[in-house]
Amino acid sequence: MTTKDYIAKLNKAERAINGKRFVGLSSQIGRKQFKRVFVKGLDAEGAPIKPEYSTNPIYIGPNQTPEKSTAKFYEGGYKEFKRALGRGKMVLFRLFSQMYLQSIVNPELRISDTGFVIATGMTYNAGNPKGKVDGLLDKYGDAFKFSDAERKEFTERAEQIVVDLFK
Protein backbone atom coordinates (compact mmCIF):
# COMPACT_ATOMS: atom_id res chain seq x y z
CA MET A 1 0.00 0.00 0.00
CA THR A 2 1.37 3.36 -0.96
CA THR A 3 1.41 6.37 1.34
CA LYS A 4 -1.24 7.97 -0.84
CA ASP A 5 -3.48 4.89 -0.54
CA TYR A 6 -2.95 4.82 3.22
CA ILE A 7 -3.88 8.51 3.56
CA ALA A 8 -6.98 7.94 1.41
CA LYS A 9 -7.98 5.05 3.71
CA LEU A 10 -7.43 7.20 6.78
CA ASN A 11 -9.53 10.01 5.29
CA LYS A 12 -12.29 7.51 4.48
CA ALA A 13 -12.13 6.14 8.02
CA GLU A 14 -12.20 9.65 9.51
CA ARG A 15 -15.38 10.46 7.56
CA ALA A 16 -16.98 7.15 8.50
CA ILE A 17 -15.98 7.23 12.15
CA ASN A 18 -17.85 10.43 12.86
CA GLY A 19 -19.80 8.50 15.43
CA LYS A 20 -23.05 7.83 13.60
CA ARG A 21 -22.43 4.09 13.34
CA PHE A 22 -21.73 4.05 17.05
CA VAL A 23 -24.99 5.85 17.80
CA GLY A 24 -26.87 2.97 16.18
CA LEU A 25 -24.84 0.47 18.20
CA SER A 26 -25.46 2.50 21.35
CA SER A 27 -29.20 2.49 20.67
CA GLN A 28 -29.22 -1.30 20.23
CA ILE A 29 -27.27 -2.01 23.41
CA GLY A 30 -29.20 0.73 25.19
CA ARG A 31 -32.48 -1.00 24.40
CA LYS A 32 -31.17 -4.20 25.98
CA GLN A 33 -29.89 -2.29 28.98
CA PHE A 34 -33.14 -0.43 29.54
CA LYS A 35 -35.19 -3.60 29.06
CA ARG A 36 -33.13 -5.08 31.87
CA VAL A 37 -33.71 -2.04 34.09
CA PHE A 38 -37.28 -1.05 33.18
CA VAL A 39 -38.94 -4.35 32.31
CA LYS A 40 -37.06 -6.89 34.41
CA GLY A 41 -36.15 -4.52 37.28
CA LEU A 42 -32.55 -5.79 37.41
CA ASP A 43 -29.38 -3.86 38.17
CA ALA A 44 -26.05 -4.19 36.34
CA GLU A 45 -25.18 -7.24 38.44
CA GLY A 46 -28.46 -8.99 37.51
CA ALA A 47 -30.00 -8.58 40.96
CA PRO A 48 -33.43 -7.04 41.59
CA ILE A 49 -33.23 -3.29 42.18
CA LYS A 50 -34.18 -2.98 45.84
CA PRO A 51 -36.27 0.03 46.79
CA GLU A 52 -35.03 2.41 49.45
CA TYR A 53 -38.34 3.67 50.76
CA SER A 54 -38.58 6.07 53.66
CA THR A 55 -39.51 4.72 57.08
CA ASN A 56 -40.46 8.15 58.42
CA PRO A 57 -44.10 8.21 59.59
CA ILE A 58 -46.47 9.42 56.86
CA TYR A 59 -50.16 9.99 56.26
CA ILE A 60 -51.48 8.73 52.90
CA GLY A 61 -54.76 10.36 51.95
CA PRO A 62 -57.52 8.77 49.86
CA ASN A 63 -56.42 10.72 46.78
CA GLN A 64 -52.80 9.56 47.17
CA THR A 65 -53.40 5.83 46.89
CA PRO A 66 -54.81 3.53 44.20
CA GLU A 67 -56.73 1.65 46.90
CA LYS A 68 -58.91 3.88 49.11
CA SER A 69 -58.82 1.27 51.89
CA THR A 70 -55.09 1.93 52.34
CA ALA A 71 -55.57 5.62 53.14
CA LYS A 72 -54.32 6.06 56.72
CA PHE A 73 -51.35 6.99 58.89
CA TYR A 74 -48.34 4.71 58.48
CA GLU A 75 -45.95 4.57 61.42
CA GLY A 76 -43.42 2.72 59.23
CA GLY A 77 -43.56 5.37 56.50
CA TYR A 78 -43.78 4.94 52.75
CA LYS A 79 -42.13 1.51 53.05
CA GLU A 80 -45.04 0.25 55.18
CA PHE A 81 -47.54 1.82 52.75
CA LYS A 82 -45.96 -0.01 49.78
CA ARG A 83 -46.09 -3.27 51.75
CA ALA A 84 -49.80 -2.66 52.45
CA LEU A 85 -50.35 -2.36 48.69
CA GLY A 86 -48.49 -5.63 48.13
CA ARG A 87 -45.75 -3.78 46.28
CA GLY A 88 -42.28 -2.57 47.00
CA LYS A 89 -40.16 -5.70 46.70
CA MET A 90 -38.36 -4.22 43.72
CA VAL A 91 -38.25 -0.90 41.88
CA LEU A 92 -40.36 -0.93 38.72
CA PHE A 93 -39.01 1.90 36.62
CA ARG A 94 -41.38 0.91 33.81
CA LEU A 95 -44.09 2.76 35.72
CA PHE A 96 -42.24 5.92 34.71
CA SER A 97 -43.04 5.49 31.01
CA GLN A 98 -41.76 8.90 29.93
CA MET A 99 -38.50 8.20 31.72
CA TYR A 100 -38.21 4.89 29.87
CA LEU A 101 -39.03 6.25 26.42
CA GLN A 102 -36.77 9.27 26.70
CA SER A 103 -33.90 7.14 27.93
CA ILE A 104 -33.63 4.91 24.88
CA VAL A 105 -34.75 7.22 22.10
CA ASN A 106 -32.41 9.61 20.30
CA PRO A 107 -29.01 9.15 21.88
CA GLU A 108 -27.07 12.37 21.51
CA LEU A 109 -23.72 12.40 19.69
CA ARG A 110 -21.18 14.89 21.04
CA ILE A 111 -18.00 15.26 19.00
CA SER A 112 -14.84 16.80 20.45
CA ASP A 113 -11.22 17.19 19.37
CA THR A 114 -10.30 13.94 21.07
CA GLY A 115 -13.21 11.76 19.97
CA PHE A 116 -16.91 11.50 20.61
CA VAL A 117 -19.36 10.64 23.34
CA ILE A 118 -22.76 9.06 22.91
CA ALA A 119 -25.07 10.21 25.67
CA THR A 120 -28.57 9.20 26.56
CA GLY A 121 -30.46 11.17 29.11
CA MET A 122 -33.80 12.12 30.44
CA THR A 123 -35.58 15.34 29.74
CA TYR A 124 -37.15 17.21 32.58
CA ASN A 125 -40.82 18.02 31.90
CA ALA A 126 -44.20 17.90 33.63
CA GLY A 127 -44.22 14.09 33.58
CA ASN A 128 -40.56 13.92 34.55
CA PRO A 129 -39.89 16.78 36.95
CA LYS A 130 -36.25 17.48 37.77
CA GLY A 131 -36.59 16.38 41.39
CA LYS A 132 -38.10 13.00 40.47
CA VAL A 133 -35.52 12.16 37.80
CA ASP A 134 -32.56 13.35 39.87
CA GLY A 135 -33.83 11.57 42.97
CA LEU A 136 -34.22 8.25 41.15
CA LEU A 137 -30.81 8.56 39.52
CA ASP A 138 -29.17 9.48 42.85
CA LYS A 139 -30.69 6.43 44.54
CA TYR A 140 -30.51 3.89 41.73
CA GLY A 141 -27.95 5.28 39.26
CA ASP A 142 -25.76 2.19 39.51
CA ALA A 143 -28.60 0.14 38.02
CA PHE A 144 -28.16 2.06 34.76
CA LYS A 145 -24.52 1.06 34.30
CA PHE A 146 -23.67 -1.52 31.64
CA SER A 147 -23.73 -5.10 32.84
CA ASP A 148 -20.62 -7.14 32.02
CA ALA A 149 -22.48 -8.79 29.11
CA GLU A 150 -23.67 -5.43 27.74
CA ARG A 151 -20.19 -3.92 28.03
CA LYS A 152 -18.64 -6.97 26.31
CA GLU A 153 -21.15 -6.88 23.45
CA PHE A 154 -20.69 -3.12 22.98
CA THR A 155 -16.90 -3.41 22.99
CA GLU A 156 -16.79 -6.32 20.56
CA ARG A 157 -19.21 -4.69 18.14
CA ALA A 158 -17.47 -1.30 18.38
CA GLU A 159 -14.13 -2.96 17.65
CA GLN A 160 -15.69 -4.64 14.61
CA ILE A 161 -16.96 -1.28 13.33
CA VAL A 162 -13.42 0.13 13.54
CA VAL A 163 -11.91 -2.96 11.86
CA ASP A 164 -14.49 -2.74 9.05
CA LEU A 165 -13.57 0.89 8.44
CA PHE A 166 -10.04 -0.08 7.52
CA LYS A 167 -10.96 -2.89 5.13
Residue 34's CB is within 10 A of a number of other CB atoms, namely 19
User: 54 CB contacts (<8 Å, ≥6 apart)?
Assistant: 77, 78, 79
Mean pLDDT (whole number) for 37-65: 87
Last residue of a domain, one of 35, 63, 89: 89
Residues 60 and 123 in one domain: no
8 vs 111, which has greater pLDDT? 8
CB 65 within 8 A of CB 55: no
Mean pLDDT (whole number) for 71-99: 78
Residues 140 and 68 in one domain: no
Residues 115 and 144 in one domain: yes
Query: What pLDDT sits at residue 99?
Result: 57
Mean pLDDT (whole number) for 72-100: 77
Could you report the per-residue pLDDT of 126-146, keeping only the tens digit for each?
Answer: 666 777 777 777 887 788 788
Residues 116 and 37 in one domain: yes
Which stretch of 46-60, 72-86, 115-129 has the lowest confidence by average pLDDT? 115-129
Query: What pLDDT sits at residue 148?
Result: 93
Query: What pLDDT sits at residue 73?
Result: 96
Domain that holds residue 28: 3-49+92-165
Residue 99's CB is within 10 A of a number of other CB atoms, namely 20
Q: How many domains is the chain partitioned into structurally?
A: 2
What CA–CA distances, in Å, run from 117 to 10, 33, 111, 128?
Answer: 21, 18, 6, 24
